[in-house]
Amino acid sequence: MSNRLKLIGDGLVKNNPTFVLLLGMCPTLATTTSAINGLSMGLATLFVLVLSNMAISLIAPVVPDKVHIPVYIVVIATFVTLLQFIMQAYTPAMYETLGLFIPLIVVNCIVLGRAEAFASKNGVLESACDGLGVGLGFTCSLTVLGLVREILGSGSVFGFNFIGGHDGMLAFVMAPGAFLCLGYLMVLFNKLFKK
């Protein structure tokens, strides 16, 4: 049990996909214009990550070596498409905001990376915990990054404006701000957690 908790903790801190492993930079930079967008993108990835990790750890023992990548990609793509259907049906507004970045989860290196490095070598429950940990790590990083960019760029927190109708520093909503915030947050994260 403690081993599984440790797996979740590792995903959050030691193997944090955004601040330590630097994986999945494309959705990280593009979707974190606000805290809520970052949070939804993180949760979408978490959903795919947990399910694909579980499915892949189940089928890994029978998958021949030479076709394992195509098989994994098919499995991941299935879960992403499933997620797409669900979001389109029940959260159409969020689906529209995240748009292209939902199908792009298929090629998010975090998902295939965890499948290769962890799920294919471990049991179902461990893989689920690993997926949960890394997914939560991704979700938290994206939410924090989105939050910082939203505060600086739009002067609001989760959509609640606190500077009364004025504009924030717009650069932070756009691409340069994404890089700047990510860089500083990374420094802070590594200063706090890396030994």
Partner 1 sequence: MAVKSNLTNMVLVLGVTCLFCSAILGGAYVLTKEPIEAAAVEKTNKAIAQVLPHFTDAQYNEQEGYYTATDGEKLVGYAIESTSVGFGGNLSLMVGVTPDGVVYNTSVLSHSETPGLGAKCTTDEKFMSQWKGFDPAVKKLIVKKDGGDVDAITASTITSRAYAQAVENALATFKKIGGTGNE
Q: Using the rule CB under 8 A, give the single segment among 15-23, 86-94, 123-131, 183-191 that binds partner 1.
A: 86-94
Q: Which is nearer to partner 1, 170 or 187 (CB)?
A: 170
Instruction: Report the nearest approach of partner 1 to the CB of residue 30 (Å).
Output: 13
154, 161 contact by CB (below 8 A): yes
Tell me the per-residue interface mask from 140 to 169 with partner 1, x by CB under 8 A, - otherwise.
-------------xx------------xx-
Does 81 participate in binding partner 1 (rule CB under 8 A)? yes
Cα gap 101→44, rounded to integer Å: 10
Q: How many residues does the chain have?
A: 195
Q: Tokens 């049990």, residue?
A: 1
- Give the integer Cα–Cα distance in Å for 84 and 185: 30
Phi, psi of 160 (to 5 degrees): -90, 115
76 in Cβ contact with 69 (< 8 Å): no
If binding is defined by CB under 8 A, does position 62 make contact with partner 1?
Answer: yes
The binding site for partner 1 (CB under 8 A) comprises 33, 59-68, 70-71, 74-75, 77-78, 81-82, 85-86, 88-90, 92, 120-121, 153-154, 167-168, 170, 173-174
